[in-house]
Amino acid sequence: MRLTLPDLSGECYRDMFELRECDPSVAEFLKGSQGMLLLIHADNIKAPLMVTTVAAQTQALGSTLPAGQEVKWEPRLAPTQIQLVELLQLLREPPLTLGFERIAVVFSAWDKVEAEGRSPDRFLGERLPLLKQYLESGADGWEWKVYGVSAQGGDYEKEDEPFTGAKLEKLNELKALDEPSMRIKVVSSTSPSSSDLTEPISWLMH
């Protein structure tokens, strides 16, 4: 197979959601694609924030919400799952109307949440329930699979932030591996854990 990874900025997809604009070169690339890696940082998901939650937190801090203060809403403030579902819906609408069907939902930095003991599928359902419901509904015909990927196995020290305790033990375990590529971890609900970063791509291409 031939794999092409063009250098497209994340702003391209942000503009599709926030501005309803898509650069012609991006549209051309998308129409010629055979699948999508939907990368989501597992430790950087913006959850919905309920007014009742804010009120409860304010009360717990012994404060009060200011009356009559309006907060201007902007698309960038939307929760992660809202942005992702809307983006996938836009890909099925004219003028794009993409032909490919397969999506590999990939949670990057999986080592950040692995200790919670959840599979990637369960993590998707608990942290991004709207996205999972949308995919399960089959409304736009996506065929999908969920992965958890840790490209480097864990955190590494910075010069001014030496590790101690459990973090240091984990770092020493990673450094002890003979092959750096063995630090990679790819997890899914249907196959055993591996160190093969090409696994999601291989699934997309079959």
Question: Phi-psi bin for 147: left (phi > 0), alpha (psi -120 to 50), beta?
Answer: beta
Q: Of all helices (H) and strands (E), which one includes residue 150?
A: strand 143-150
Is residue 60 a part of any domain in this protein?
no
pLDDT tens-digit series, residues 110-164: 988 888 889 999 999 999 999 999 999 999 999 999 999 987 655 555 555 666 6
How many domains are contained in the chain?
A: 1
Q: Is residue 64 part of a domain?
A: no
Question: Is the residue at 15 inside a domain?
Answer: yes
For residue range 155-168, what is the model confidence (pLDDT) as tens digits? 555 555 666 666 66
CB–CB of 101/142 below 8 Å? yes
141 domain residue, yes or no = yes
- Torsion sign, CA atoms 5, 113, 18, 86: positive
- Asked whether residue 4 is domain-assigned, the answer is no
Instruction: Using 50 as the pLDDT threshold, list the residues of the chain that sit under it.
Output: none
For residue 96, is it within any domain? yes
Residue 68 lies in a domain: no
Task: Assign 47 to helix, strand or coil.
Answer: coil
Question: What pTM value is reported for the model?
Answer: 0.81
For 25, the domain range is 10-54+74-205
pLDDT of residue 129: 97
pLDDT at 6: 75
Task: Please indicate, yes or no, if residue 134 is contained in any of the structural domains.
Answer: yes
C-alpha distances (whole Å) from 82 to each of 57, 93, 122, 165, 180 are 24, 17, 18, 38, 37
